Amino acid sequence: MRTALFGAVALAALAGVASAQPIITLFGQEYQVTRLNYSESVQLPNIPFPNDPPVPFIESEGLIWAGNNKLLMSADDIDDIGFGMPPNWIIEIELEEVNGAIVGIAGYRTILAQSIVAVGYDMNPTGITINTGAGHAGGGNIVALNGDGLLYGFSYQPGTEGDQLEFPVGSGCLVTPATCAMNISAQNTNAEDITYVPVRGGEFFVTNQDTISIERYSAISGAFLGSAQVGPFGSVAKGLAYTPDSDRLPASVRRPEGLVLVIFDDRFPALQLLDVDGNVLATELLTLDGTPFGTPRLDVTGCPRGLRLESGAIDPATGRIFLSNQGSLTFCNFLWVLTPILPGPTCDPDFNGDGNVDQDDIACLAQVVAGDPACSGFDPDFNGDGNVDQDDIDALAQVVAGAACP
């Protein structure tokens, strides 16, 4: 059942090109920081008034890494645009990368633009994730979290992007789309973000702002599986992001089953890393003096409301961390891109570590380039050009064939 209105692929205005920021150290790892303003780059159709000028995408709530230099972002704009406008957005943005650096937004498209008037309910996407497993919106579709404790499913498949999905499948619940959702409101009515964690059959991690905790739910049944307290005292967990293990993550906190990044808001801006059982591994405060409301470690010059982090994402292939700021109208709608500063490559063609240099090493590196970082702990940027791609496979193949290291 289609409950969304769509915009076609749109070209970015490129007004929000990246600006360099000071280097920051998080969890023992140095990061080069650049900043984009997504409201300057992304102008969306003014549904349901298509003859009016486009409106900027503002006040991002949810953020998730979608692969291939793409991010999904969600926003609930009703507070600032007004009733009758399309308050609920899910968009896909593509980042422009040059020589291993993010330099701007290359393009974007609307996945979902939902008007309360058109569909009869407010989806209110305070958070979004992609369920790569089974269960609710499984198979690589979008799960949108309603702040009142409802999880809606929407298609992310080509040709049906934004179509609402049944939960459970075959239930016929789309007759009343407003209630066609996984309902966790008995446990949580003040949820802010969600991330899918592919362990134990698949789990959703969800923030609870009332208890300042992270809750775990089965992605299959919706059963509550437990919770864990997080954060500096008095802070509120605003964002969540899961990443599988990768050699691009800070070495001191890597775990075989991956990590969950927790993002805290302006009351006490901070980042925290959890294991997949919800145990806190490390905390980084994002004020220079380590106190609430102190000077932020990220540049928010000219923002009257300071640092207001809402959500985050991680690209396991590069180790980049993405942090979204919830600005006000078109002000301070920042997307920070934190790229790890890594040592230069070491030429070790025994990529799979079995003591031989042969086709198995090429296959291992190809597996990493395809998106599975579990094959090897070696640096996949084999040719040292700052990218992990087919060129690295070609360079390794030449070495296996007898050529010198690049």
Whole-angstrom distance, CA of residue 225 vs CA of residue 332: 37
**Domain check: are 235 and 365 in the same one?**
no
Does residue 56 belong to any structural domain of this protein?
yes
Decide if 95 contacts 133 (C-beta within 8 A).
no
**Domain check: are 377 and 404 in the same one?**
yes
Whole-angstrom distance, CA of residue 250 vs CA of residue 364: 22
Mean pLDDT across 246-269: 92
170 burial type by CB count under 10 A (0-12 exposed, 13-18 middle, 19+ buried): exposed
In the predicted structure, residue 313 carries a pLDDT above the cut 80: yes
**Comparing 44 with 165, which gets the higher pLDDT?**
165
Place of tokens 């973000």: 193
Chosen domain end from 340, 372, 397: 340
Does residue 291 belong to any structural domain of this protein?
yes
Residue 381 sits in a domain whose CATH number is 1.10.1330.10
Does residue 3 belong to any structural domain of this protein?
no
**Domain check: are 335 and 401 in the same one?**
no
pLDDT band at 53 (very low <50, low <70, confident <90, very high): confident
Residues facing residue 226 across a β-bridge: 216
Chosen domain end from 340, 366, 397: 340
Whole-angstrom distance, CA of residue 345 vs CA of residue 385: 9
Chosen domain end from 310, 340, 370: 340
Decide if 380 contacts 365 (C-beta within 8 A).
yes
**Domain check: are 223 and 312 in the same one?**
yes
**Domain tally for the chain?**
2
On average, the pLDDT of the chain sits at 86
| Digit-coded pLDDT (tens) for 385-398 | 777 889 888 888 88
Mean pLDDT across 108-131: 86
**Domain check: are 142 and 210 in the same one?**
yes
The tokens for 88 are: 């609920």
What is the number of alpha carbons within 13 Å of residue 200 lying toward its C-beta?
14
**Domain check: are 365 and 251 in the same one?**
no
Question: Which amino acid is present at 249?
Answer: L
Does residue 223 belong to any structural domain of this protein?
yes
**pTM of the predicted model, to two decimals?**
0.82
Mean pLDDT across 285-289: 92
**Domain check: are 314 and 364 in the same one?**
no
**Domain check: are 318 and 363 in the same one?**
no
Task: Determine how many CB atoms are found less than 10 A away from the CB of residue 158.
Answer: 6
Lowest mean pLDDT, pick from 76-80, 183-187, 303-307, 338-342 = 76-80
Whole-angstrom distance, CA of residue 136 vs CA of residue 405: 47
Does residue 1 belong to any structural domain of this protein?
no
Q: φ, ψ for residue 361 (rounded to 5)?
A: -70, -40
Place of tokens 């549904």: 47
Measuring CA to CA, which residue among 171, 176, 219, 173 is closest to residue 194? 219
**Comparing 124 with 282, which gets the higher pLDDT?**
282
Q: How far, in Å, are 80, 174, 223, 324, 342 from residue 405 at the CA level?
A: 57, 58, 52, 40, 19
DSSP code for 101: E
Lowest mean pLDDT, pick from 82-96, 224-238, 350-364 = 82-96
Does residue 191 belong to any structural domain of this protein?
yes
Decide if 137 contacts 131 (C-beta within 8 A).
yes
Report percent pLDDT > 70 for the chain: 90
**Domain check: are 84 and 203 in the same one?**
yes
Does residue 361 belong to any structural domain of this protein?
yes
Measuring CA to CA, which residue among 340, 338, 356 is closest to residue 348? 356
pLDDT score recorded for residue 161: 94
Q: φ, ψ for residue 119 (rounded to 5)?
A: -110, -10
Does residue 5 belong to any structural domain of this protein?
no
In the predicted structure, residue 348 carries a pLDDT above the cut 90: no
**Domain check: are 371 and 306 in the same one?**
no
Lowest mean pLDDT, pick from 108-117, 308-317, 345-354 = 345-354
DSSP code for 251: G
pLDDT band at 336 (very low <50, low <70, confident <90, very high): very high
Residue 239 sits in a domain whose CATH number is 2.120.10
Burial 277-308 (b: 16+ CB within 10 A, else e): ebeebeebbbbeeeebebebbbbbeebeeebb
In the predicted structure, residue 15 carries a pLDDT above the cut 50: no
Lowest mean pLDDT, pick from 197-206, 315-324, 354-363 = 354-363
**Domain check: are 249 and 356 in the same one?**
no
Place of tokens 């369920």: 131
Mean pLDDT across 149-158: 95
What is the number of alpha carbons within 13 Å of residue 116 lying toward its C-beta?
15
**Domain check: are 386 and 312 in the same one?**
no
Q: Which domain holds residue 168?
A: 10-340
| Digit-coded pLDDT (tens) for 196-255 | 999 999 999 999 999 999 999 999 999 999 999 998 877 889 999 999 999 899 999 999
**Comparing 382 with 257, which gets the higher pLDDT?**
257
